[in-house]
Amino acid sequence: MPTFEYEVKKGPTEIIKGKIEAESRKSAVSRLRELGYFPLKVEEVYSASSNEKKDRKRITLSGWERIKLKDRNVFLRQLANLFESGMVLTRALRTIIEQTPNRAMIKVVEQIYEDVQKGSNLADAFEKHPKIFSPMYCSMVRAGETGGMLDEVLWRIVAFSEQEEELRGKVISALIYPVFLLIVGSIAIFILVSFVFPKFIAVFEDFNAQLPLPTIIVMKFCGFMGTWWWAVIFVGILFSLAMYSYFKTSEGKRQKDTFLLSFPVVGGVIQKYEMAKFARTFGTLMDNGVPVLTALKITGETMTNAVIRDEVQTTHDLVKEGESISDSLKKCPHFPPIVVSMFAVGEESGRIGIIAKRIADAYDIEVDRAVKAMVTLFEPTLIVIMGVIIGFLVIAMLLPMLTLSSAIGT
């Protein structure tokens, strides 16, 4: 029978460490709760052979091989269906390989198939592909394999991943039109000032007439763009690459995420999206018998926003020191009071997992509404800004034409 090392709370501040034998991690957590403890950390004591499996080299895909969220979810659903029907794991993986159209996904499933055939469990095989299967999935699969309920766990993962895909899809689809409008408008303005208006400027200069101030401003700008448009594009590309590289660093990403959270309307959408992701991930892990500290650590790694990820890490550290989850979340400025209150209720009733998933369901609806409100506000604002810019350019070109036509008529 497997042995588990545990770290539990007894009372407000007392923390107890020890070992316990149980059939699975979930069983160990249940037994500790029955003894009146609040499990913080429960980890299986692996043998040397198990550690060797964990230390195997992780497989990475080349830059051209990409696996979309949808491809991963299709694989998980197929695996859950085949395994539930009674098919052995290796045969299920071989069947999926034959039916998968994505070559990159085939490569990953083939590696998983080979590892399982050699005696590795599914969780260890998943861990070799961290960009596809997050630590959350690996922990849940390991709990399912240990407890003999892999089929049930796979369906929970499928439900979670499809909800995540649906939420992300709503955000992306809502932003497609505004982004398209911004790109088209910017290209139109660039073409006007770089290639079209400079031809009008040559005509104005031939007449040596007194030109209005807006026309002079546009003439100077168009003259610069007409000569140096290629340099503007080159500098723009260099600047974009530099900013992209900077935002890939931890400090750059943190500054960018801090700015986005403080930006009107957009910050609210991001906060709600992160709250939905946090609550659903944490609740799913808790429902599958993952200890609190492990669940918080894994949940923090799944957060997209670096600022909120740091706050989850702070919560993890405070809970490790003996504080409750709700008290720890109170010290995180981007966690709304309603979330803190709901977690307090979950801790009091011993139903944190269920409460967390209810929070996630509520925030899924909030994200949908917030995105629609943001797009409703953003589209007309963008149209007005583009209209003002293009209108100013057109009027600046028309004013001297009217002046010249009047002069010619007299």
Task: Determine the CATH number of domain 160-410.
Answer: 1.20.81.30
Collapse the DSSP code of 23 into the 3-class scheme (helix H, G, I; strand E, B; otherwise coil) and give the result: coil
Backbone region of residue 263 per phi and psi (left: phi > 0; alpha: psi in -120 to 50; beta: other values): beta
Q: Yes or no: say if 219 and 201 are a contact pair by the CB < 8 Å rule.
A: yes
Q: Are 180 and 375 in contact (CB under 8 A)?
A: no
The pLDDT value given to residue 169: 79
Q: Using CA atoms, how far apart are residues 177 and 175, in angstroms rounded to an integer? A: 6
For the sheet with 3-10, list strands across it.
Answer: 14-21, 3-10, 38-44
Q: Please report the pLDDT score of residue 28 as a whole number.
A: 78
Q: What is the pLDDT of residue 408?
A: 53
- Tens-digit pLDDT profile for residues 74-104: 888 888 888 888 888 888 888 888 888 888 8
Identify the CA nearest to 292 among candidates 336, 271, 323: 323
pLDDT values of the chain reduced to their tens digit, one per residue, 410 residues: 667 788 777 765 667 788 887 766 777 777 777 777 777 777 777 544 444 444 444 444 444 456 787 888 888 888 888 888 888 888 888 888 888 888 888 888 899 988 888 888 888 888 888 888 888 788 778 777 776 777 888 888 888 788 777 777 777 777 787 788 888 888 888 887 777 777 777 777 666 667 778 888 887 887 787 788 888 889 989 999 999 899 888 888 889 999 988 888 888 888 988 898 898 888 888 877 778 888 888 888 888 889 999 999 999 999 888 888 889 999 999 999 999 999 999 888 888 888 988 898 888 888 888 888 887 887 788 888 888 888 888 888 777 777 666 555 54
41, β-bridge pairs: 7
Q: Which fold has domain 61-159?
A: Receptor-associated Protein (1.20.81)
In 208-336, which ranges are continuous DSSP H helix?
A: 213-248, 250-262, 266-287, 292-302, 306-320, 325-330
Q: Taking a C-beta distance cutoff of 8 angstroms, is the pair 135, 301 a contact?
A: yes
Task: Indicate the angle between helix axes 150-191 and 266-287, nearest 10 degrees.
Answer: 170
Distance CA 49, CA 56 (A): 11
Structure tokens at 335: 């966690």
Q: How far is CA 386 from CA 216, 224, 230, in A?
A: 21, 21, 23
Q: Tokens 């055939």 sit at which residue?
A: 117
Widest CA span in the chain: 105
218: tokens are 């546009």
What are the residues whose beta carbons fall under 8 Å from the beta carbon of 372, sequence distance 6 or more? 174
